[in-house]
């Protein structure tokens, strides 16, 4: 690739440096699918397996720069992360569940768009899943208005060490938010809500909120609610966090280490993304349109970097 021949560091590359004439129209449509149509897009079939790890990350970065601006996704400053089982205990509150083989519940991340590129699928399971924030809200309101309203109030989530300067080790953010113009969502993981109980200064969640969360989880699992996608080698899935929640089924991995399920993840800020409710700033920190918004802004965060070793932990 010309950018490597020119000696450009991956993180220096901008969309203008890589016009991608054969893919530009496809990527423009993928961007529109995310922001204006469906809240997600899938671009299939990049011949990624023929390249070395550095070139794989370079290609993924270049493609993603045509959608948005990358932001750090953990306290280690990772601009591209690796979703792979590194043997961590799913019950350890100092670790990320993404680096296990466990099921990931429907949730949202602190950025406009999350991208996942498949390098190796699992031997069995591991399907990516998406549900609409609006569908979930309206179905909850239809069945149990009081429980739906309870999820418009802040839930208490463990930051798991990614604490912004001057902030609490826990965050208070609703699942459903309304800014007077549009609905937005932020889905926490139950394990992060449970581990937040360790903070004695954190306000407790109400029983209505726990009941609402239970109904939320039940509806997500009902037939026909979620879209399931089986990502194959070279596929990229982009998802617009304010309008869709995403999840992952548990999976069984290949016995050979080189065949382990492996996705590369990128978090993107969209300068023309929608206006966000103020309560989203509890997690995103910066939410203004036109700004480089979202990402992890923890005190002491390491300088931005791209680890090529997939076994490097997000919470090292």
For residue 278, pLDDT beyond 70: yes
Establish if 130 belongs to a structural domain: yes
What dihedral angle (degrees, nearest 10) is formed by the CA atoms of 81, 62, 305, 164? -70
Q: How many CB atoms lie within 10 A of CB 133?
A: 25
What is the Cα–Cα distance from 273 to 212, expressed in whole angstroms? Answer: 29
Contact 233, 118 (CB under 8 A): yes
Q: For residue 300, is pLDDT > 80?
A: yes
Q: Do 266 and 119 form a contact (C-beta atoms < 8 A)? A: no
Q: Is residue 3 part of a domain?
A: no
Buried b (16+ CB within 10 A) or exposed e, 261-277: bbbbbbbbbbeebbebb
Distance of CA 94 to the CA centre of its chain: 18
149-178 per-position pLDDT tens digit: 999 999 999 999 999 999 999 999 999 999
Closest CA to 84 of 115, 116, 49: 116
Residue 216, φ and ψ in degrees, nearest 5: -55, -50
* Banded pLDDT at 92 (limits 50, 70, 90): confident
Q: What is the four-CA torsion angle of 60, 61, 63, 67, rounded to 10 degrees?
A: 130
Evaluate whether residue 4 is within a structural domain: no
How many whole angstroms separate alpha carbon 238 and alpha carbon 67?
9
pLDDT at position 69, please?
A: 98
Question: pLDDT value at position 1?
Answer: 67
Mapped onto helix, strand or coil, the DSSP state of residue 104 is strand
Domain count, the chain: 1
Which tokens in the block code for residue 49?
């397996």
Q: Do residues 18 and 3 lie in contact, with contact meaning Cβ atoms separated by under 8 Å?
A: yes
Q: How many C-beta atoms surround the C-beta of residue 285 within 10 A?
A: 17
For 71, residues 6+ apart whose C-beta sits below 8 A from its C-beta are 79, 111, 267, 268, 269, 292, 293, 294, 295, 296
Share above pLDDT 90 across residues of the chain, in percent, rounded to a whole number: 90
Stated pTM of the model:
0.96
> Computed over its alpha carbons, how large is the radius of gyration of the chain?
19
CATH number at residue 60: 3.60.130.10
Question: What residue numbers bound the domain in which 103 lies?
Answer: 21-284
- Is 177 among the domain residues? yes
* pLDDT tens-digit map of 178-226: 988 899 999 999 999 999 999 999 999 999 999 999 999 999 999 999 9
**What's the rounded mean pLDDT across residues 232-255?**
97
């Amino acid at each position: 690739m010309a950018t490597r021949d020119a000696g450009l560091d991956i993180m220096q590359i901008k969309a203008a440096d890589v016009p991608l004439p054969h893919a530009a129209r496809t990527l423009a449509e993928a961007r529109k699918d995310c922001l204006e149509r469906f809240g997600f897009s899938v671009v299939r079939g990049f011949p990624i397996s023929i390249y070395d790890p550095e070139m794989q990350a370079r290609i993924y970065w270049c493609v993603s720069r045509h959608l948005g601006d990358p932001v750090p996704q953990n306290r280690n400053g990772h601009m591209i992360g690796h979703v792979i089982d590194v043997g961590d205990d799913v019950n350890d509150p100092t670790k990320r569940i993404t680096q296990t083989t466990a099921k990931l519940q429907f949730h949202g991340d602190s950025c406009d768009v999350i991208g996942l590129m498949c390098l190796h699928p699992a031997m069995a399971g591991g399907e990516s899943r998406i549900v609409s924030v609006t569908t979930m809200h309206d179905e909850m309101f239809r069945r149990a208005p009081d429980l739906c309203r309870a999820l418009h109030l802040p839930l208490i989530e463990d930051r798991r060490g990614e604490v912004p300067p001057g902030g609490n080790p826990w965050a208070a953010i609703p699942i459903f938010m309304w800014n007077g113009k549009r609905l937005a969502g932020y889905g926490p993981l139950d394990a992060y809500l449970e581990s937040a109980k360790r903070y004695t200064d954190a306000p407790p969640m109400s029983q209505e909120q726990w009941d609402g969360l239970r109904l939320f989880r039940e509806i997500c699992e009902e037939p026909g609610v979620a879209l399931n996608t089986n990502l194959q080698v070279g596929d990229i899935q982009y998802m617009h966090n304010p309008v869709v929640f995403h999840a992952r089924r548990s999976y069984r991995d290949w016995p050979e280490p080189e065949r382990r399920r492996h996705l590369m993840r990128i978090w993107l800020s969209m300068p023309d993304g929608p206006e966000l409710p103020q309560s989203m700033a509890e997690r995103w920190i910066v939410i203004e349109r036109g700004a480089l918004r979202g990402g992890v802004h923890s005190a002491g965060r390491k300088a931005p970097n791209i680890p090529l070793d997939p076994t490097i932990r997000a919470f090292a």
